[in-house]
Amino acid sequence: MSRAPEQVQDPLRWCAVLALAFWLACLPHLTAVPHAYFDEVHYLPAARELLALDEFTNREHPLLGKELIALGIALFGDNPVGWRLLPTLLGTLALFGAMRALWFASESRFATLAYGMLLATGFHLFVHARIAMLDIFYLGFLALAAWQFAAAIRQPEQGRWRLVLTGVALGLAMGAKWNALVVAMLPGLTFLVARALAGRRRLLMSRRGAPVPGTTLLEATLWLGVVPLAVYAATYLPGFLFRLHPITEGLVFHHQFMLSQQEQVLKPHPYQSTWEQWVLNARSIWYLYEPVEGVQRGIMLIGNPLTMLLGLPALAWCAWHGLVRRYWAALGVALVYTVSLGFWVIASKPVQFYYHYALPSMALLAALALACDALWRNGWHKSALAPVVGSVLVFGWFYPIISGAPLVGPDSFAVWTWLEAWR
């Protein structure tokens, strides 16, 4: 008799352990800067106005991220803890959700845990989980959506409620920041293309075929199309209640105004960069570099210098294996990277910044995890582990300059600025 196929054990507990370790690593020096820094100077005043429902400011961005910052202030006070503790939790959700998404997509323990280590030490998630900006909120909700959508495909018996959660999370992601918009369309388009390729004669009402058997295309349109838009619209409800400059002419007009604000010609900024520089990790942003209460501190945003470059050939590997060998997890990762970066290649926004690469970098590190998993499965264990171990070591070396830890003096930045463009 042939043996039953081996069942790979879900690394759920290890995912939780990694997420907890990441959250604990975010806490040191979280409140060392007692004042607003970098883009906190825009979002903290807007959050305070939200709490008072006084003047509607920072109107060019969606409201949910500022609502969550306001929630943190309401819960923990108008202080560094209230500003930054909730972002650490959303960063932890982003890490956990991303790991769970890759597990359900690949059913590989090694790829899942390697991804968790790579993402936790990839710099982008860590830096944004410790500052009251909008980016960590949309990343957290997109990771939640990816997790639920991948789980719906893997476990179609749970498909309905997981697709509902996917739609809710997509709406929240769009409500946090518009960076989520193009990626938020992918689950619905994936469902449409997969069901159409299945060749079903009753395209709208058939319950058979990929990606979630038992769910019709019509029902999927509700969960992945209507629900996200409804949730997104609901995030604007406080905008109608402000005392000064409330939304009075409807959401359509308000969005036209937001778009005009986003596309207006801005003055050149010393930290602006282009997508080619993002891909090559060739341009940094200094979120902070100044004496804080007599102590020199710095927070530099770059990607992990090792994994941002190793991820590029891994991404090509994923695209090839996804298209030619129908490795759907690899194809999905390559698609998310291409769409999320491609948006900024064609976007009409004249001034762009490296923090827009946060989402593509998450897909890039997923590609590296899948490529390392292929090495692991083929017996190249040391080669598979090397990028993961290297990422942790590089993260440890850069930790002082990405965490706001005390530095020796005003010239300390030279230790980490290996490129002139990082200075």
Identify the CA nearest to 151 among candidates 136, 164, 137: 164
pLDDT 10s digits, 66-83:
999 999 999 999 999 999
Phi and psi at 279, nearest 5°, equal: -60, -40
- Average pLDDT over the chain, rounded to an integer: 94
* 317 touches 371 (CB < 8 A): yes
Does 59 reside within a domain?
yes
Q: Say how many Å lie between the first and final Cα of the chain, rounded.
A: 66
Does 267 reside within a domain?
yes
Sequence-separated (6 or more) residues with CB below 8 Å from residue 258: 59, 60, 61, 62
* 359 touches 90 (CB < 8 A): no
Q: How far is CA 48 from CA 72, 234, 248, in A?
A: 11, 20, 21
Does 3 reside within a domain?
no
Does 300 reside within a domain?
yes
Residue 251: Cβ-neighbour burial (10 angstroms; 0-12, 13-18, 19+): middle
In DSSP notation, 330-342 reads: HHHHHHHHHHHHH
Residue 3: pLDDT band with limits 50, 70, 90: low
The pLDDT assigned to 200 comes to 63
> The whole model's pTM is what?
0.95
The tokens of 359 are what?
């989402």
Does 7 reside within a domain?
no
The pLDDT assigned to 217 comes to 93
Span 343-349, average pLDDT? 84
Q: Which of 51-60, 84-93, 175-184, 263-272 has the lowest mean pLDDT?
A: 263-272
Mark 159-194 as b/e (b = at least 16 C-beta within 10 Å). bbebbbbbbbbbbbbbbbbbbbebbbbbbbebbbeb
The pLDDT assigned to 210 comes to 84
Does 6 reside within a domain?
no
Residue 60: pLDDT over 70: yes
Domain count, the chain: 1
Determine the Cα–Cα distance for residues 207 and 303; give it in Å rounded to an integer.
43
Q: What is the percent of the chain with per-residue pLDDT over 90, rounded to a whole number?
A: 87
Q: Which domain holds residue 201?
A: 12-422
The pLDDT assigned to 280 comes to 96
Higher pLDDT, 193 or 4: 193
Does 223 reside within a domain?
yes
Count the neighbouring beta carbons within 10 Å of the beta carbon of residue 407: 19
Span 213-227, average pLDDT? 95
Residue 1: pLDDT over 60: no
pLDDT 10s digits, 364-409:
999 999 999 999 999 999 999 999 999 999 999 999 999 999 999 9
Does 4 reside within a domain?
no
The pLDDT assigned to 318 comes to 97
Amino acid at site 311: G
SS (H, E, C) 69-126: HHHHHHHHCCCHHHHHHHHHHHHHHHHHHHHHHHHHHHCCHHHHHHHHHHHHCCCHHH
* 170 touches 180 (CB < 8 A): yes
**Helical ranges in 158-226 per DSSP H:** 159-176, 181-184, 186-197, 217-221
The pLDDT assigned to 208 comes to 84
